[in-house]
Amino acid sequence: MVPVTEMKIVVGEGYAWILLEAVIITIHMWITGMMMGSVRKRFFNKDFYQNKFPEYKRLGKVMRPDGGYPDDGQGRLADKLDDEQWFIFNNYRRAHMNYLEGGFAVLIPLLIAGLSYTRLTFFIGIAYIIGREIYSQGYRGAGSKGRLVGVLILDLALLALWSMALYTCFHWGNGLNGLKRLIF
């Protein structure tokens, strides 16, 4: 068996900015969740529990009027919201959940692509963050139709990051010859 060649990874100072973008994306994702939490607290407050869900009293310590948990927008509590409140709450929720669902899809390729294409990855990361914010604001304000511009920007950014990350892995692995040496 032929030993696999060891590789040392050396990154330039620019890579620190890629790491910063990863942190910013993570914080932005968290802030999007906190915005959903503020809407939850606005709708599922003590007044809501007393007037629309008085049966909470018999549930004792299990359910308290403290922000609407465990309802995520599709449960017994959300059923008691009026249509406008339900729509607003679920749009905030959907904007946040979409971000969570796509977290790994952007963070890992960002970190890998940045190893080979630091400057380009940095600018694409900025485009992704801007696209994600446009997406979130659009969804929160107008529902699924409001997200279209943001989707276009962030999906193009994702495609570029994925392409660069795949090429980086292939190139750093010495292409097909490197794969053959690894396997055989």
State the average pLDDT for the chain: 90
Is residue 130 predicted with pLDDT exceeding 60? yes
pLDDT confidence band for 63 (50 / 70 / 90): low
Query: pLDDT-derived band of residue 98, with 50, 70 and 90 as boundaries?
Result: very high
Please give the pLDDT value at position 69. 67
pLDDT band at 67 (very low <50, low <70, confident <90, very high): low
pTM exceeding the 0.85 threshold for the entire prediction: yes
Residue 151 to residue 95: CA distance in whole angstroms: 11
Give the pLDDT band (50/70/90) at residue 100.
very high
Residue-range domain boundaries for the chain: 15-183
| Residue 162 pLDDT grade (very low, low, confident, very high; cuts 50, 70, 90) | very high
CB 147 within 8 A of CB 96: no
169 or 40, higher pLDDT: 169
Say whether pLDDT at 39 is over 60. Answer: yes
Cβ contact 155:161 at 8 Å: no
Average pLDDT (68-87) is: 83
Query: Mean pLDDT lowest for which of 6-10, 79-83, 153-157?
Result: 6-10
Of 137, 161, 157, residue with least CA distance to 147:
137
Which pLDDT belongs to residue 49? Answer: 82
Q: Which CATH class is domain 15-183?
A: mainly alpha
| DSSP state letter for 61 | T
The candidate with the shortest Cα–Cα distance to 155, out of 172, 130, 131, is 131
Going by C-alpha positions, the residue among 24, 20, 32 that lies closest to residue 100 is 32
